[in-house]
Amino acid sequence: MNKKVVVIGGGYGGLRAIEFLAQQSDMDVTLIDKHPYHYLQTEAYGYIAGRFDLHDVVIDLQDWCNGFKKKVTFIYDNVQSVDFEAQSVALCDGAISYDYLIIATGAKTNFFSFIEGLREHSFGVKSLHRAHNFRVEFENLLYKKLQNEETQEINLVIGGAGLSGVEVAAEMANVVEVYKKTIGSRINSVKIYLIDASETILPGMSDFLINSTHKRVEALGVNILTNAFIEKLDDNFIYFKNQEALKYHFMIFTGGIKASDLNECIDVKKNKISQFITDSMLNIAQKKNVFAIGDCVEIRDASGKILPPTAQSAERSAEYAAESIRKRIDNKTIAPFDAKVLGVFIALGGNWASGELFGVIKVKGYSAYLLKKAITYAYYLGLRLRINTGYKNRIKKP
């Protein structure tokens, strides 16, 4: 009898795990997600600035699963809890049993409770609906500028100067620059602010990435505020701990993440942002048949260093978990998880990027943009080919 493998979460990690698991003839694979789509969060910067359309950042999970020709079942439902002893996943509509389980539920924006008014007055980019709401606000603002209906100075603020924050700030600033050709000097009253409490943008990244990104973002006209501690927000102002205030139109917050809601329902060891703390083989609850991967986990390499919550980390942990399931079924030895960040590419507005590969190769400008685009396109093409197969399978049904 085939082993039942359940994957919770259709993000980067969940989909990568299924790509491997679906090739195993002795496994029946089920994907569960509370959304009917996969959201390419790494492309959020382009979507909210209007460079990409909706079809560029989402794919239909049902058609994607259909592309595996009945090897993968998709369940569009919300997971309520997991019973590790009964090996069962409770859904809003019923339950499903498993032999092996991979939890890949990702993370959401952490609107820090100690910043008064942050959740009420800012947008996130971790969820599609928040990114979409911001895109609508941004496009409405540009439209009003075009119609000369909005004449006052407008400050658009990105809180958090990590990877997502600088990409959003750079793309928005580039869009503002492009619009000078149609809106003219009226667009000059739109100002972009990038704010972070750290001493520099991209805290924790290499000097090359920090310096090249800083120069590019400044050249685009972004106002960079570091060592800036936000105390509270109201409808009109951002207040800093040094008693200064910044009038703003709207704000995107990318300053932190928190594990998904499901983590709160599972009584296992977690860190202060609710990420699971696994053993060296990415198992939780002392269950060798339960794996947790991606942003819902505090992932460490073999030396104990925490890996950044990126799509790359999610995919590496997914590959490890999927291969570990194969080895457990075959009674083979499993080595502890170990992965490194192989490279980082940062989209910085228009046809410009900055990146590193293997810590040795350093590129910036158009060449880095081409490399990032090639990597993204390869991932997107793989998803699209699978969807096309699934769509054709669906329309053949009577």
CATH of the domain at 8: 3.50.50.60
CA 54 from centre of chain: 16
229 located within any domain: yes
Q: What angle do CA 365, 371, 375 make, to 5 degrees?
A: 145
Which pLDDT score, from 0 to 100, does residue 393 have?
Answer: 64
From first to last of the 398 residues of the chain, give the pLDDT tens digit.
Answer: 899 999 999 999 999 999 999 999 999 999 999 999 999 988 889 998 888 899 889 999 999 999 998 899 999 999 999 999 999 999 999 999 999 999 999 999 999 999 999 999 998 888 899 889 889 988 998 888 888 887 788 999 999 999 999 999 999 999 999 888 888 888 889 999 999 999 999 998 999 999 999 999 999 999 999 999 999 999 999 999 988 999 999 999 999 899 999 999 999 999 999 999 999 999 999 999 999 999 999 998 878 888 888 888 999 999 999 999 999 999 999 999 988 888 899 999 999 999 998 878 999 999 999 999 888 888 877 777 677 666 566 656 54
**Within this chain, do residues 313 and 248 fall inside the same structural domain, yes or no?**
no
Whether 161 and 182 map to the same domain: the answer is yes
If asked whether residues 243 and 288 sit together in one domain, one would say: no
C-alpha pair distances (Å), 101 with each of 104, 287, 389 = 10, 10, 26
pLDDT at 398: 47
The pLDDT assigned to 215 comes to 97
DSSP-derived pairing of the beta strands 343-347 and 190-195? unpaired
Let me know if residue 68 belongs to a domain.
no
How many Å apart are CA 353 and CA 212, to the nearest integer?
A: 9
Cβ atoms of 146 and 182 closer than 8 Å: yes
- Domain boundary (253, 278, 302) is at 253
* 243 shares its domain with 280: no
Question: Are residues 275 and 303 located together in one domain of the fold?
Answer: yes
Would you say 164 and 125 are in contact if contact means Cβ atoms under 8 Å apart? yes
CB 271 within 8 A of CB 258: no
242 shares a domain with 138: yes
d(CA 88, CA 77): 15
Same domain, 248 and 140: yes
Residue 281 located in a structural domain? yes
In this structure, are 99 and 139 located in the same domain? no
Total domains in the fold of the chain: 2
In a domain, 22, yes or no: yes
CB 158 within 8 A of CB 251: yes
Structure tokens at 44: 């959020």
In one-letter notation, the amino acid at residue 296 is: C
Q: Which helix (H) or strand (E) holds 177?
A: helix 163-178
**Domain range spanning residue 188?**
118-253
Q: What are the angstrom distances between the C-alpha of 5 and each of 37, 63, 78, 89, 115?
A: 20, 19, 17, 11, 41
Q: Who contacts 42 (Cβ-Cβ below 8 Å, separation ≥6)? A: 311, 376
3-state helix, strand, coil in the chain (%, to 5): 35, 25, 35
135 plus 101 within the same structural domain: no
Q: Which of 281, 388, 323 is nearest to 24 (CA)?
A: 323
* Residue 17, helix vs strand vs coil: helix
Distance CA 48, CA 51 (A): 8
In a domain, 91, yes or no: yes
Burial 177-200 (b: 16+ CB within 10 A, else e): ebbeeebeebbeebbbbbbbbeeb
Note whether residue 241 is domain-resident: yes
> Does any domain span residue 375?
no
CB 230 within 8 A of CB 202: no
The residue from 236, 253, 270 where one domain ends is: 253
Residue 125 contacts residue 109 (beta carbons within 8 Å): yes
Residues 6+ apart with CB under 8 A from 301: 307, 338, 339, 340
Same domain, residue pair 155 and 269: no
**Angstrom distance (rounded) from CA 43 to CA 176:** 19
Q: Are residues 248 and 293 in the same domain?
A: no
Is residue 138 within 8 Å of residue 48, measured between CB atoms?
yes
Looking at this protein, which amino acid is placed at residue 135?
Answer: R
